[in-house]
Amino acid sequence: MKKYDYILFDLDDTLIDNLENVRHAYKKMLEYVGVDYTEEGFKKWFLLDTQYWLDFGNKKIDVPLEYQTSQELFVKYVRSLRYMKYLEGKISLNDAFIINDIYLQALNEVVVPICGAYETLEYLHDKYKLVITTNGPTLAVEPKLRKINCLAFFDYIFSSDMTKKTVTKPNREYFWELQNFLNYYKNNRMLIVGDSLKTDIKGGMNAGIDSCWFNPRKEELPIEYSPTMVISNLQELTRKL
Ligand SMILES: [Mg+2]
């Protein structure tokens, strides 16, 4: 008899290769400013971008008053400032706005699936209810899944921006809201699959839901985390479930 009814999948870096998505957008930015691509440059951008959003979350990014008049203008400014920081004053704010359009467009152009995503989901969707559980924007989920031909495999999509209290994985409240959304409350018949120990595995531990750590780089498991199972390739799930 099968052990689970619902499989909860993380999206970014579990089903979609976020790094390749960002690399493509980065190349398009360089094309615009006429700079050659290097691995080193990309690494620098990736680190800067990651840190930038952490700083933004900690309210460390100052937005001039004139860009606070609408949500749209605010978001455009915040997004564009990253390119100015990266290119260290070599471009104007207006260039940064143009780059932002190019960058966002490029993020939608290339969506690379994680190896084995299609085969794994195709196998699982006949046996289980499949749910996307992400902290990313809901709006991005369907286009991404459609690009990798996997949208039809999912029964539900749930994102932190759909929660009433704006809660994210790994908070217990996120999973309460998820269960209300699904109208399904048997923790022991659910499995969460994800690449992040801090959000997916910790989330499962907080909610009393079994978890599967997707660990493609075969990193060592820190002692404070206890996933129910660990895989390094998605297709291992077809043998385990
Ligand atoms: Mg992830």
Q: Which of 101, 112, 80 shows the shortest CA–CA distance to 12?
A: 112
CA 211 from chain center: how many Å?
17
Q: What ranges in 148-221 are assigned the alpha helix state H?
A: 172-182, 202-207
Q: What is the pLDDT of residue 104?
A: 85
Distance of CA 124 to the CA centre of its chain: 21
Say which CATH topology domain 6-16+112-240 has: Rossmann fold (3.40.50)
The more confident residue out of 166 and 141 is: 141
Q: How far is the CA of 181 from the centre of ligand 1 (A)?
A: 21
What's the mean pLDDT when you consider all of the chain?
Answer: 93
Q: How far is CA 122 from the centre of its chain?
A: 21
Stated pTM of the model: 0.79
Residue 113: beta bridge partners?
16
Distance 57 CA to ligand 1 centre (A): 18
- Residue 70's pLDDT is 86
Confidence of residue 170 (pLDDT cuts 50, 70, 90): very high
Cα–Cα distance for residue pair 135/98, rounded to 1 Å: 27
Name the residue among 109, 129, 132, 131 with its Cα closest to residue 27: 109
- Expressed in angstroms and rounded, the spacing between residue 199 Cα and the centre of ligand 1 is 8
C-alpha 11 to ligand 1 mean position (Å) = 6
Q: Is the pLDDT of residue 109 over 90?
A: no
**What is the CA(217)–ligand 1 centre distance, in A?**
14
Pair 93, 100: CB distance under 8 Å? no
Burial class of 199 by CB neighbour count within 10 A (0 to 12, 13 to 18, 19+):
buried
Q: Give residue-wise pLDDT tens across range 119-143.
A: 999 999 999 999 999 987 787 789 8
Report pLDDT for 192: 98
How far is residue 112's CA from residue 161's CA, in Å, rounded to a whole number?
Answer: 24
Give tens-digit pLDDT for 16-46.
Answer: 998 888 899 999 999 999 999 999 999 999 9
